[in-house]
Amino acid sequence: MNEYMLIYKGGDPDFRKDDASMAEIMEAWGAWFAKLEQQGNLANGGSPLHFAGKRIAKDMLVTDIAASELKELVSGYSIIKAESLEQAVEISKGCPIFDAPIMSVEVREIMKLG
């Protein structure tokens, strides 16, 4: 099996910030990760990322990514195992990230070096 990074993009920093909603979101993620683990498709659950950050260009110009469009920001990642890119895409379609507004998932194969 190959490993694929699911790169979660977009979102709303204020989406469901109350405790009850967060518990519901975390329960959905936990169930999805448990299913992937049971099927042998979970390599690393990853982590969510803060919406704030900095971007450093080759010329060492530092900009604030908070000024970027939300739909373009990377908001988290996971690493899954799949037999093919097509299977990784199918697995990603069940991701709870799609319950949040303005979200997309980029699926990228992790290269094996050496």
Domains of the chain: 2-109 (3.30.70.1060)
Tell me which DSSP letter residue 53 carries: -
CB-side neighbour CA atoms (13 Å) of 87: 14
Confidence band of 67 (pLDDT split at 50, 70, 90): low
Residue with tokens 């991701």: 95
| Euclidean distance between CA atoms 31 and 33, whole angstroms | 6
| Euclidean distance between CA atoms 37 and 34, whole angstroms | 5
Q: Tell me the pTM.
A: 0.85
Q: What is the pLDDT of residue 18?
A: 64
Of the candidates 83, 82, 80, which has an alpha carbon nearest to the alpha carbon of residue 95? 80
Mean pLDDT, the chain, whole residue set: 89
Mean pLDDT of 3-9: 96
Of the candidates 37, 19, 25, which has an alpha carbon nearest to the alpha carbon of residue 103? 25
Residues 20-55: pLDDT tens digits?
Answer: 777 888 899 999 999 999 999 999 999 988 878 898
Confidence band of 73 (pLDDT split at 50, 70, 90): confident
Q: What is the pLDDT of residue 48?
A: 87
Sign of torsion, CA 79 103 97 38? negative
